Chain A
Amino acid sequence: MSFIKEFSGKYPEHTHKNDPKAEELLSTAKFDARFQMCNQDKACWQNYVDYFRCIKKKGEDYEPCNWFKKQYQALCPGFWTERWDEQREAGAFPAKI
C-alpha cells in the first residue's frame, strides 16, 4: 500500500467489494438508512413491529411484508423475538400493532 494513497484514504476498490461467487449464494438483511448508528436495537425492534403491522393490515400472504420479516429475523436475537412473541400472545406487547 503506497504511503500517499494510504494516508489520503484512497483505498483500492476491490477492498470494498464482495466475492462475486458469494453474492450468488448468500444474502442477509440490507443496510437500513433509518438506523445508521452502531446500536441496531431500534432497527431490530422497528422491523419486528413493521412486519406484524404489515401482515395485520395486508394479510399473511402479502409478499412485500416478508422484507420486514427477513430484516428482523436477521437482526434480532432469538431470545428477544421469543419474549416479544409471548408478549403479543398475552396481549402485553408495548407497541400498537
Chain B
Amino acid sequence: MSYWCQMYFQNGVTFTSMRVQWAFGMYCVVLMLIFVFVMLSVLLCCSGSHQFIYMLTDHNLERIWGTVPLLILVFLSWPSMGLLYVLSELETPLVTVKCIGHQWYWEYEYTDFAVVSYNSYMVPEDELKLGEPRLLTVDKSMVLPFSVWCRILTTSFDVVHSWTVPAFGVKSDAVPGRLSESSVKVEMPGVFWGQCSEICGALHSFMPIRVEVVSAELFSKWLWILQSSVWEG
C-alpha cells in the first residue's frame, strides 16, 4: 500500500507491473540524459567561449540532429509496444472474478463452480480497529490465488467506476453495459489495496478495494466454504 511521502510506484507484485515500472525507470534515465545534455549545451553557448560566425550551413550536422532524436524515440517505443500486448495478454486463466461497481461499494462474484457473490463495504472511521488504515479497510476482501492467471471482469450496476490495484498494475474502468477484461498473475501472497478511480458520486472516495492473495489450496477451500454457507465476515 502507499506510505507517507511516497514518490514512486508501489512495489509491483505481478510481472506486468514490474515490467511497466522497469520501462518507466528506463525512460526516466533517458530523459535525464537528454536533459543534462541540453543544459550543458545551453551553458556552453551562454559562456561566450565559442564562436559560430564562420558556420553558415552544415548538412551533416542537420542530418545528425534530426536522426538521433528519431532513433531515441524508436528506442523508447520498442519496449512500450511489447508491453502494450503483454498487458492485454491472458494465458490460460484458472479463476474468473467479476468486480461489479455499485454506488458506493464493490460486489465480487465467483461463479466458476457455484454462484458466490458478496458485497465489500468500507469500514467507517468510528468502527476501525487499531492499526487498520482509514478509507481502505473493508468488511470483506476479494481473494485471489497467487501464481495463477486470473481473469478480472469489471462492470457496473449504475454509473462508471474504476477498479484499481496499483500493486497489480491494473486500472480497469467499470462501465455499465460493458464487461472489461484484465488479466492478473500475482507472484506473491499478501494484502493489496486500491481505490475507486472514476468519479462516481458523493462517496466516490469511500469505496476501497482490498485483495488478499493466498495459496491455490487455501483459495479453493475458501471458495468451497463460501459456496456451502453464507459468509458472515
Enumerate chain A interface residues (CB-CB to B < 8 A).
Answer: 1, 6-7, 9, 11, 15-19, 21-23, 25-31, 38-41, 43-44, 73-79
Contact = CB atoms under 8 A, between A and B. Distances in A.
A73 to B, nearest CB: 5
Interface of B: 15, 18-19, 22, 26, 78-79, 82, 86, 88, 90-96, 98, 100, 109, 111-112, 115, 117, 145-149, 151, 153, 155, 157, 177-182, 185, 216-217, 219-220
Contact of A41 (B22, B148, B178): B178
The 10 closest A-B pairs by CB, nearest first: A22-B216, A9-B82, A19-B147, A26-B94, A28-B96, A41-B179, A25-B220, A40-B179, A74-B96, A22-B148
Contacts, number: 104
A44 B96 CA distance: 13
A75 B153 contact: yes
Give the dominant DSSP class at B's interface.
Answer: mixed
Given A11-B86, A31-B93, 14 more contacts: A18-B91, A19-B146, A22-B94, A22-B147, A25-B220, A28-B151, A30-B92, A39-B178, A39-B181, A40-B179, A73-B115, A74-B96, A77-B100, A77-B109
